[in-house]
Amino acid sequence: MLIPSIKNSLDELIDLLKQISNTEFSKPCQLLSNSSIGEHTRHIVEMFQCLENNYESGMVNYDKRPRNILIQTDATFAISQIVTIQSLLEKENKKIELQQIIDNEEVTINSNYFRELLYNLEHCIHHQALIKVAVLQSETIFVNENFGVARSTIEYRNQCAQ
């Protein structure tokens, strides 16, 4: 269920990106503290890429990402990166160690691949919610009502509707 949920969230992001121009994609948005839809998209993409690129070594540090400007300025390129991510998600669960520097001290935490996929899904939804704030200002962009909404919230709403 986890991987289909991730693919669904990423498909929703692709559907949105197909509707906007590169100018809209890379333009700073006041509602996003002057960041752009592209910057939030790049952040989503690079977090998944970081997990993918470090799967074999089993050592993940999300702070050590390349921050590829092309992902945040070219919506078509961003879409291609998302499609690649979707095609590489299905792997065996395995031990992963997370590394991060906090207050000049290196911290290492045990995790696993599935837990990190879940983290990336929740992280993706969080950034999609921010992107939604920006695109709701446009009358020409259609946004799925569940875009940027946590899966647990969607389930809760469905139960209330019955």
CB contact at 8 A, 94 and 113:
yes
Query: CA 154, 128, 26: angle at the middle one, nearest 5?
Result: 160
Q: Considering only residues 136 and 60, tell me which one the structure prediction assigns the higher pLDDT.
A: 60
1-17 average pLDDT score: 96
* 78-119 tens-digit pLDDT: 999 999 999 999 999 999 999 999 999 999 999 999 999 999
Distant-in-sequence, close-in-space partners of 16: CB < 8 Å, separation ≥ 6: 131, 135, 141, 143, 147
> Which of 66 and 75 is assigned the larger pLDDT?
75
Q: E-strand spans in the chain?
A: 59-60, 95-102, 105-112
pLDDT greater at residue 5 or residue 158: 5
Give percent above pLDDT 70 in the chain: 100
% the chain with pLDDT above 90: 83
**Which tens digits make up the pLDDT trace of 107-157?**
999 999 999 999 999 999 999 999 999 998 888 888 988 899 987 888 888
pLDDT at 77 over 90: yes
pTM for the full model? 0.93
